[in-house]
Amino acid sequence: MPRPIQSIQRAAQVMHLLSGRARRLSLVELSAQMGLPKGTVFGILRTLQQVGFVEKDPDSAKYQLGAALLHLGSTYLDGNELRSRALNWADSLAARSNETVRIGTLHDGRVLVVHHVFRPDDSYQVLQVGSLLPLHATALGKALLAASPYVLSELDGEELTRFTARTITDVKQLTVALKEVKRRGWAADIGELVDGEGSVAAPITDRSERTVGSIAISGPIERLCESELPRSDLVAYVRESARAISRDLGAIPW
């Protein structure tokens, strides 16, 4: 394998630091954290500034990530677009699981519900599109968080709201749980938002494997779980639909 290019490694390190909790760092802070002379770091910053990856805040003279980056690596996909492309598979998931289906995206530290399919029992139900859910207490949110260490790092030191006795309110505990989510490729919430209600979710990815949303079924725990764990057939349905949507997102848009 060819040797890595040192200046690119260093530039990446700068960008990692700027994407951390502080968001804005001065030249002194950056060079201290990187253990490099100010002159070296300044050179890197100047180049990154030229290509738009880094901006200098004129008031504080601190550096922050540039707007060009947002367009590059962003996981942004229009929620309406996602719904349009996921419609058939969300329907199919509701029909197979006999449960409510929702699709969510990351929005300002919460889950924005962009699509909702009623539980197919023709009971009275109200469309929940547009509502916001907490990230840490829903399967939809955990599936999104597991793929967004950046957003997770924002939560560090924050009070996580308790909704039920089972809500994970400790960030460390949440971080551990998310590792497991990432490893197995799906997330669950068992009575963590509402007592007796649960959900199972899987991430939806685009063609470059970035997570752009998540899809979940939800319902009463006694239907969703078997001896306290999500039923494996339901987990399989959720994951299959997430995969099908992801595959279709790789296709040419309408």
Partner 1 sequence: MTGAYVASIDQGSASSRCMLFDRRGRLVSVAQKEHRQLFPRPGWVEQDAEEILGNVLQVVPDALEKAELKLADLVALGIANQRETTVVWDRDSGRPIYNAISWQDTRTDKIVNRLAAEGGKDRFRAKTGLPLTTYFSGPKIQWILDHVEGARDGAERGTVLFGTMDTWLIWKLTGRHVTDVTNASRTMLMDLRSLDWDDELLEAMKVPRAMLPEIHASSEPYGEAGAPLRGLPVAAALGDQQAALFGQTCFAAGEAKCTYGTGSFLLLNTGDRLVESTHGLLTTVGCRIAGEPPTYALEGSIAVTGALVQWLRDKLGLISSAAEIETLARTVEDSGGVYVVPAFSGLFAPHWRSDARGVIAGLTGYTTKGHLARAVLEATAWQTREVIDAMNSDAGTVLRVLKADGGMTADNLMMQLLADNLGVPVVRPIVAETVSLGAAYAAGLAVGFWPNVESLRANWHKAAEWLPRLDPETRERRFRKWKKAVARTLEWVDDDDE
Ligand X SMILES: Nc1ncnc2c1ncn2[C@@H]1O[C@H](COP(=O)(O)OP(=O)(O)OP(=O)(O)O)[C@@H](O)[C@H]1O
Contacting positions for ligand X (CB under 6 A): 80, 84, 254
Binding-residue total with partner 1 (CB under 8 A): 27
Stretch of 33-41, 48-56, 115-123, 140-148 lying at the interface with partner 1 (CB under 8 A): 115-123
| Nearest-angstrom CA–CA distance, 112 and 140 | 10
If one asks whether residue 121 binds partner 1 (CB under 8 A), the answer comes out as: yes
Nearer to ligand X, 84 or 125 (CB): 84
Fill in the amino acid letter for 228: E
Residues 121-130: contacts with CB within 8 Å, 24+ apart?
Answer: 125/100, 128/102, 129/83
Q: Which residue's CB comes closest to ligand X?
A: 84
If one asks whether residue 120 binds partner 1 (CB under 8 A), the answer comes out as: yes
Rg (CA), the chain: 21
Nearest distance from C-beta of residue 114 to ligand X, angstroms: 12
Q: What is the DSSP letter of 194?
A: S
Determine which residue in the list 37, 46, 78, 173 makes contact with partner 1, applying CB under 8 A: 78
Vertex 178, ends 89 and 21: CA angle to 5°?
Answer: 115
The binder of 63, among partner 1, ligand X, none, by C-beta within 5 to 8 A per type, is none
Nearer to partner 1, 88 or 161 (CB): 88
Helix (H) or strand (E) holding 54: strand 54-56
